[in-house]
Structure formats: C-alpha cells, structure tokens
Amino acid sequence: MKQVAVIGAGTMGNGIAHTFAQAGFKVQLIDINEILLKNGLDNIAKNLDRMISKEKILEVDKLNTLANIKPFTDLKLGVTNADLVVEAATENSDLKLNIFKQLDEFCSNEAILATNTSSISITQIAGVTSRPDKVIGMHFMNPVPIMQLVEVIRGYSTSNHVTNTIMELSKTLGKIPVEVNDYPGFVANRILMPMLNESIETLYNGVAGVEEIDTVMKLGMAHPMGPLQLADFIGLDVCLSILKVMYDGFKNPKYAPCPLLINMVRAGKLGVKSGEGFYDYSESKKAEKVSSQFLK
C-alpha cells in the first residue's frame, strides 16, 4: 500500500494527510474548495514547523512530508490510483453516502474505502457500494499527528483481511488501533458525547457557570480540559450532529441534544472555529465566557 487519498482538507483531513505523509506514504489530498485545500496545506506546514521548534523532527523531515502530499480539487483524478481512500468530509450522512457512491465508481476494485466518521454507521455507508467487504471505519482523534488512538470500526460485511490490514497499517503510522463494532457513536463518542451534553445541561439548568463546570471536571476528575472547552474545540455543530445520529440510532432520550446546544449552533456560535462558543476566542477576549444571552 503506497498511494493514499484523503478526502477533505479540514482539521481532520489535513491531520490525516500529515500523518500518512510523515510516515512515508504518497498522499493525494482532495477538497473541492480550493481555499480550504490551501488552508489545509498551510496548516500542515505550520504543524510541522511546531514539531521542528519542539525538536521532534528535523527540517528535512518537514520537506519530505510536504513533498509526499499532492493536492487535488477533482475527486476522480485524486482517487484513481489510490490503494486506500480515507474520507474525512463533514459529519453528514447524505454527503458521505454520495462520496462513497462516487468512490465505488472511480476507485480500483482492490482499493480499501475508509471513513473517518465519528458516529455514522459503517454498514450504511458500505451499503451504497458494490464492495461492502472493503469498507471500514478509521476514526482518528484530533489532533491527528499527536493522538495515538485509531478506532477501527468493522461494518457488518467488512472482511477479516481488510480489518487486519487497517489494524497493521495504523501501527505503521505510530498509532494504537482498537477494533470496535458498528453501533452509533462506536466507543469514543458513545461515552464522550453524553458527558459533554450533560455538562451543557448542567449549565442550561443554572447549576454552575462555564468556568466552574470545567474547573470541577479538571480538578476533580483529572481531565486535561473541561468538557465545555472540549466541546468548543470539537465544534458545537459536530457535537450536535453526533448526538443526533446517536439519538436517531438508539431512540433513547438520554442522547437527545440539550436545547442550549441547539440554539448556540443555530446562532453560529460553534466554538473555536467560529471564534465563540462557551468561551470567546477572539483576539481581544480569548478564553472568556460567552454572554449569558443563550441561557435565557
């Protein structure tokens, strides 16, 4: 396996491309948005510079990594010769299903099709292809170049050969793969998202403020980051999407997203990516609490 195509140049996509390229793979990074594609490549370069400053890699490693990445805005051209495709588009089931229909048409018959989805059914995605045995989940954690875990999710028809191939491949990236089964949210988000949602409910019900909730969890539970700040970093829109998938999949009210989360997403307060969520990330007010308007 030499050629890897990564679809989506956002936070997860450029992190996945960075990780494969640094491990010596030839990577075709694909995004239909030229601006996002350029920003993704710029972010990879910045992250490599950060690693150089921390003496984790040398300048030559940066140059080799960047040389291994080739950008594409055309999906068909970007995936034609790929041995493995990792889809890292927005967490939207309709979008992912459409992408996989095209991948099934454009990719070689031997290519493995992986998705970085954090909650959507691998079996459902595989069902729109003619190769469900070659469709699998590779759920990387953010930031991808640093976090060691990869959730490897088997769909109903995923073959043992493909699962073993992806498990071994993850190890060559310096990751620790964990095989899990195909249920909404898998393991990571099935446990994480209800905790984040309950933290938002705690704020919504006026039990405590943003900083107080995060402080309790950091000091009392030894979490490196409070749940509300973590939700901001994940993206409140992403949290909402995952909770909706879990609620639809299990029909259990404990996964129903908090009204405060819904209203904040409607208002465009998505966290770090929009400059404001539970905290204010603008240059003048970094890490300040948001206005109490959303609690009314």
Q: Which member of 14, 47, 118, 119 is catalytic?
A: 118
Confidence band (pLDDT; 50, 70, 90) for 1? confident
The yes-or-no answer on residue 118 being catalytic is yes
Stated pTM of the model: 0.90
Averaged over 276-293, what is the pLDDT? Answer: 68
For the chain, give the mean pLDDT. Answer: 94
Binding site members: 8-13, 31, 91, 96, 118, 142, 273
pLDDT tier at 246 (50, 70, 90 boundaries)?
Answer: very high
Where a domain ends, among 135, 165, 181?
A: 181
Residue type, 175: K
Q: What is the pLDDT of residue 295?
A: 43
* pLDDT over 90 at 286, yes or no: no
Q: Assess if residue 284 is contained within a domain.
A: yes
| Domain identity same for 14 and 142 | yes
pLDDT at 226 (0 to 100): 97
Question: Per-residue pLDDT for 99 more than 70?
Answer: yes
Residue 284: predicted pLDDT:
54
- Annotated catalytic residue 189: yes
The strands making up 176-181's β-sheet, listed across from edge to edge, are 69-72, 26-30, 3-7, 84-87, 112-115, 135-140, 149-154, 176-181
296 located within any domain:
no
Residue 19 to residue 27: CA distance in whole angstroms = 10
pLDDT single digits (tens) 129-163: 999 999 999 999 999 999 999 999 999 999 999 99
Instruction: Band the pLDDT of 85: cuts 50, 70, 90.
Output: very high
| Torsion angles phi and psi, residue 103, rounded to 5 | -60, -40
- Of the candidates 236, 214, 233, the one whose C-alpha atom is nearest the C-alpha of residue 224 is 214
Residues 112 and 254 in one domain: no
Query: Considering its fold, how many domains does the chain have in total?
Result: 2
CATH number at residue 84: 3.40.50.720
Question: Do 40 and 104 have their domain in common?
Answer: yes
Active-site option among 14, 43, 116, 151: 151
Out of 121, 189, 199, 241, pick the active-site residue: 189
Provide DSSP, the chain: --EEEEE--SHHHHHHHHHHHHTT-EEEEE-S-HHHHHHHHHHHHHHHHHHHHTTSS-HHHHHHHHHTEEEES-HHHHHTT-SEEEE---S-HHHHHHHHHHHHHHS-TT-EEEE--SSS-HHHHHTTSS-GGGEEEEEEPSSTTT--EEEEEE-TT--HHHHHHHHHHHHHTT-EEEEEE-STTTTHHHHHHHHHHHHHHHHHTTSS-HHHHHHHHHHHH--SS-HHHHHHHH-HHHHHHHHHHHHHHH--GGGSPPHHHHHHHHTT--BGGGTBSSEE-STTSTTEEPPGGGG-
122: pLDDT strictly greater than 90 = yes
- Greater model confidence, 91 or 114: 114
Containing structural domain, residue 233:
189-291
Paired tokens of 240: 């909402």
In the chain, % of residues over pLDDT 90: 94
Does the annotation count 161 as an active-site position?
no
**Chain position carrying tokens 């970094």:** 286
pLDDT band at 231, cuts 50/70/90? very high
The residue-averaged pLDDT of 172-185 equals: 97
Burial status of residue 221 (CB atoms within 10 A of its CB: 0-12, 13-18, 19 or more): exposed
pLDDT for position 291: 39
pLDDT tens, position by position, 27-80: 999 999 999 999 999 999 999 999 999 999 999 999 999 999 999 999 999 999
Residues 63 and 159 in one domain: yes
Annotated binding site for NAD(+): 8-13, 31, 91, 96, 118, 142, 273
Given 139, 199, 241, 276, the catalytic residue: 139
